[in-house]
Amino acid sequence: MLTLISHALCPYVQRAAISLAEKQTPFERRTIDLADKPDWFTALSPLGKVPVLLVEQPGETTVPIFESAVILEYLEDTQPHPLHPAAPLERARHRAWIEFGSAILNGIARLYSAPDEEAFVKASESLAGMFSRVESELAARTSSPWFFGEAFSLVDAVYGPIFRYFDNFDQIGDFGILRDRPTLAAWRQALANRASVKGAVSDDYPARLDAFLAKRRSHLSVLMGPTDHRPISAA
């Protein structure tokens, strides 16, 4: 039995949820508030971060696995429908682009935390450069719906949550980060339509992300203006 300890907005949690859905593996999801971490969670997660995967084996002690990359690898080792290629070189290439996705998430955090316009522009230009690299990689391949071809992979699972940020950012303004990248746009749309990607967050995710961004008191917060047009459910 698997339990995924989650936070409503965490993109790293979404990676694990997408992988589990693609593998058609049943699991329970338990969402916590990272601003008020329960004692039982801090006992499980040495770094105090989500996701944590609880692996319950009959007659044995439940084992917590922390760090999203480790969780993804464990699921590859134990669950059906592999999302990584078998060949070592190809698997290494996939892992490298997953790491690049993590670097993009760090860039997104710098963007929404930028305290002023100068820092915001710098962060947006850096992100645009990173997505330019992704666009070049995609455009060099033959036409296919996913990053590495016809099969959905862990690379796709990682970038689905990345593009989800831009669904909110696009409502605030056009910052030029994804502009004029047709291959990237097609991949983004394919990911948005994927059932596992859609199901990785709750229906009120956009409102929750708006509320999170507004509280940053950053340059992006100023650009947002009022955010009460997206009510958050009590669930």
CATH code (residue 96): 1.20.1050.10
Structural domain that includes position 182: 88-198
The rounded distance, in Å, linking the Cα atoms of 110 and 116 is: 11
Specify whether 94 is located in the same domain as 74. Answer: no
The whole-angstrom separation of Cα 5 and Cα 32 is: 7
- Note whether 70 and 110 are same-domain residues: no
Least confident span in 53-67, 70-84, 91-105:
53-67
pLDDT digits (tens, 9 = 90+) for 61-74: 899 999 999 999 99
Domain stops at, among 78, 112, 130: 78
Query: Are 48 and 68 found together in one domain?
Result: yes
Here the CATH number for the domain that contains residue 21 is 3.40.30.10
Amino acid making up residue 58: P
Same domain, 112 and 51: no
Please enumerate in sequence order all residues whose Cβ is within 8 A of that of 150, keeping only pairs 6 or more positions apart, or say none.
Answer: 144
% of the chain surpassing 70 pLDDT: 95
Q: Which of 59, 78, 97 is the last residue of a domain?
A: 78
The pLDDT assigned to 57 comes to 87
Higher per-residue pLDDT: 231 or 112: 112
Q: pTM score, two decimals?
A: 0.93
Number of domains into which the chain is organized: 2
Residue 209 lies in a domain: no
What is the pLDDT, as a whole number, of residue 227? 57
6 and 71 in one domain? yes
Taking 80 as the threshold, does the pLDDT of residue 92 lie above it? yes
69: in domain? yes
Sign of the torsion formed by the C-alpha atoms of 124, 157, 13 and 193: positive
Tens digit of each residue's pLDDT (9 = 90 or more) over 172-222: 999 999 999 999 999 999 999 999 999 999 999 999 999 999 999 999 999
Same-domain pairing of 94 and 73:
no
The residues carrying an active-site annotation are 10
Average pLDDT over residues 22-27: 98
In a domain, 227, yes or no: no
Give phi and psi for 81, each to the nearest 5: 55, 70
Residues 6+ apart with CB under 8 A from 231: 204, 207
